[in-house]
Structure 1
Amino acid sequence: MKKKALAFSSWVDRGMFWITPLMLVLGLVFSKPFLPWVPAIPYLFAYITFVMGVGCGREHLRQVFARPMPIVLTLVLSHLVAPLAAFGIGSVLFGASSAYTVGLVLFTIIPLGVSSVLWIELSGGSLALGLAMVLLDSALSPIVVPGLIQLFFGAELTFDTLHLMRDLLLMVVVPTALGVIIYERSGGKFKQKAGPVLLPISKIFFMLVIVLNAAGIAPYAYELRGDLAAVIPSVLFLVAFGYVLGYCAPLLLKRRTPELAVTISFAAGMRNNSLGLVLALGYFSPQAAVPVVLAILVQQPLATLHQLLLRKFKPYPSKESLHS
């Protein structure tokens, strides 16, 4: 039974390239029966994050924050370089004050996506670094998001900070802390022993999260489908641009490893689009939500493609290895 469970988990890992778009289509086409379960997404994410957390101890986190430059570099690329690119593209294609431009910029300034941590672990990146970046960026989001919106568009943006922090605590902070505690108490052996049970369930939950997210955005996708053709190329470019930025970013660092390239590329390429959708619909016109909806649709398939390319074309070696 243990071998079958672990084999299933491995099968899901290998099949992400086709499983992810299949789950997206399933959620979009058969959205009605899934809609009542959309509120369960934070709880599913909490379990997934907990499973990842039990593989990470205090020593891992200490090592991450002892070298903060990868975190600083990722946040600068994600929330400065990418928004500038989004604003430039939107201004040229739609005009600086267009709702589509607002949506493109909004996509780039919302926090790093929790799902990036899943892809980082699946692809052999640094789980501790990925979690640290998501945690820090999420904590900064009440300042970063409205500040950058005001910088680019001169408009103040306010939102329910307490609600946002509650969801972030539920999905990331609490399960991660619990996982770290269990890791420390078990000496790192808990995940090894409980893996045959924990891992298959986390993969099922991961697929459910994709389905439920797709079901949740289906009404908006159908309503705005007439506008999609005008925005699709720019969204595809921006999402892919994030992965490329993250992959090339470690070239600026003295210590660059394949693990670092994997981690930063997924972190810089993925965003918390659920939050972006809420902000777009709550504070701007429906057209501003179009880029965010499209980003939700293309982010996961491009993640699978990015993972495939990482496996086929190994990331660059570190400078240390070049001189060894």
Structure 2
Amino acid sequence: MSVLSILAKANGPLERVMPLLTPTAIIVGAICGSRLASLEGLVPWVFAVMTFIGSLKISFLDMLRVLRRPEKLVWLMVILHVLMPVVGWTAGRLFFPDDPYLVTGYVLLFVIPTGVVSVVWVTIYGGNLALTLALILVDTLLSPLVVPASLYVLMGSTVDIQAREMMKGLLWMVVIPSVIGMLLNQGTRGEVNRKWGPPLAPLVKVGLFVVVAINGSTIAHDLRHADARMALLVVVTFGTVILGYLVGWGVPALFRWNHQDAVAVQFNSGMRNLSAGAVIAVQYFPPAVSLPVISGMLFQQLLAAAFGYRVGRSERKRSGASAAA
């Protein structure tokens, strides 16, 4: 059996443990502490490779098809970059009014682009993959502008925002690897993803574990010496993250969108590229800013699994009712 086939077979088991992957990585980071923190310089490189691999499945044609009828894409962008950042800012101001760095962390938690891993959940539960891929593409390409601008609008001069450096980091960590991957997909008419996507997919999960563990090590002291304030932070993070999923469930229900669109909107509203957010927080801000982002990693995949279970149960009921009729 070849190395490529072994890697391809490893992807299934790794996908099944996805809900536990990031919480485990945070625990490993907290335990290892400074031993992992010394590897912080590797994180942007690992993340760039992860982004490149994830983008191999994205085609510019996916975006063009969705842009012909952009209503749902527009709604997702409004949820991701208007509604939820305001929710994060409000939660930070309400519960931590004396700590501008934590408020910034809650804003950052929701201004970063949607996560490529949402493709996995949307695929599992039969969602609109074209809408998801188009959103990832648009959100990724706009991130060097949207992330610094959103932070500046909501935080102003309260904290020092290294907008230019942040834009450069997002360009080479996210945009450039994504564009290269998408051009390869387009140029080979999807052959590069069919051949290399399955064996490279496990490396994304491993890379995610490494990135989260190293970033988690930077706040090891806070995690080891958790107090009532830290407990409140975790509770607030849980509440805001679950609200993202609830908004993603409520908007399609309000407009009576079909099952495929509803699934895509729900997962993409709830998920963020939190590993990218953690990299940005650690690279360009004081350690406190990373606390909401890294604590969000504890819940994002677990909540995706929980809402996925609800989606699956609703679809089974709907299918049963249709069969009975």
Please classify the TM superposition score into its range, dividing by the shorter chain length: 0.7 to 0.9
Tell me the residue number matched to 2:146. 140
Tell me the residue number matched to 1:248. 250
Residue 286 of structure 2: which of 248, 258, 281 is its match? 281
Structure 1: gaps spanning 5 or more residues = none
Q: Which amino acid aligns with 1:194?
A: W
1:16-75: per-residue Cα shift (whole Å, max 9, x none)? 123332222112212232212222222222222212222122211212333333333223
Residue 72 of structure 1: which of 71, 74, 82 is its match? 74
Matches within 5 A, 1:117-136: 117-124=116-123, 125=129, 126-136=132-142
CA shift in 2, pair 1:18/1:232, >3 Å: closer
Shift of 1:12: 0.4
Shift of 1:189: 0.8
Q: Which amino acid aligns with 2:135?
A: L
CA shift in 2, pair 1:80/1:127, >3 Å: closer
Shift of 1:143: 1.9
Q: 1:168 and 1:316 mapped to 2: Cα distance?
A: 43
Tell me the residue number matched to 2:303. 302
Tell me the residue number matched to 1:98. 98
Q: 1:310 and 1:138 mapped to 2: Cα distance?
A: 33
- How big is the alpha-carbon RMSD for the aligned residues of Structure 1 and Structure 2? 3.4
Q: Which amino acid aligns with 2:197?
A: G
Q: 1:309 and 1:277 mapped to 2: Cα distance?
A: 35
Q: Which amino acid aligns with 2:146?
A: L
Q: 2:227 and 2:236 mapped to 1: Cα distance?
A: 16
3-state SS of the aligned residue for 1:55? Answer: coil
Matches within 5 A, 1:167-316: 167-222=169-224, 225-253=227-255, 255-270=257-272, 271=274, 273-274=277-278, 275-276=280-281, 281=286, 286=288, 290-314=291-315
Q: 1:87 and 1:142 mapped to 2: Cα distance?
A: 15
Contact 1:51 1:199 in 2 (8 A): yes
User: Percent identical across equivalent pairs?
Assistant: 20
Q: 1:195 and 1:278 mapped to 2: Cα distance?
A: 30
Q: Which amino acid aligns with 1:295?
A: G
The more displaced of 213-222 and 107-116 is 107-116
Contact 1:235 1:291 in 2 (8 A): yes
1:73-108: per-residue Cα shift (whole Å, max 9, x none)? 2232234433554455556656xx4327x7357514
The more displaced of 178-187 and 201-210 is 201-210
3-state SS of the aligned residue for 2:58? Answer: coil
Number of aligned pairs? 307
Q: 1:51 and 1:306 mapped to 2: Cα distance?
A: 26
The more displaced of 70-79 and 52-61 is 70-79
Q: 2:255 and 2:142 mapped to 1: Cα distance?
A: 20
Q: 2:144 and 2:255 mapped to 1: Cα distance?
A: 24
Q: When the two structures are superposed, what TM-score results if normalisation uses the length of structure 1?
A: 0.78
Contact 1:87 1:104 in 2 (8 A): yes
1:260-306: per-residue Cα shift (whole Å, max 9, x none)? 53355334443553235666638xxx5x7654453344334434444
The more displaced of 126-135 and 12-21 is 126-135
Q: When the two structures are superposed, what TM-score results if normalisation uses the length of structure 2?
A: 0.78
1:179-220: per-residue Cα shift (whole Å, max 9, x none)? 111112212111112235322322321222222222233234
Q: Which amino acid aligns with 2:148?
A: P
Tell me the residue number matched to 1:9. 11
Q: 1:98 and 1:239 mapped to 2: Cα distance?
A: 22
3-state SS of the aligned residue for 2:190? Answer: coil
Contact 1:41 1:212 in 2 (8 A): yes
Q: Which amino acid aligns with 1:148?
A: L
Structure 2: gaps spanning 5 or more residues = 124-128
CA shift in 2, pair 1:131/1:237, >3 Å: same
Shift of 1:229: 2.4
Contact 2:51 2:178 in 1 (8 A): yes
Q: 2:262 and 2:164 mapped to 1: Cα distance?
A: 33
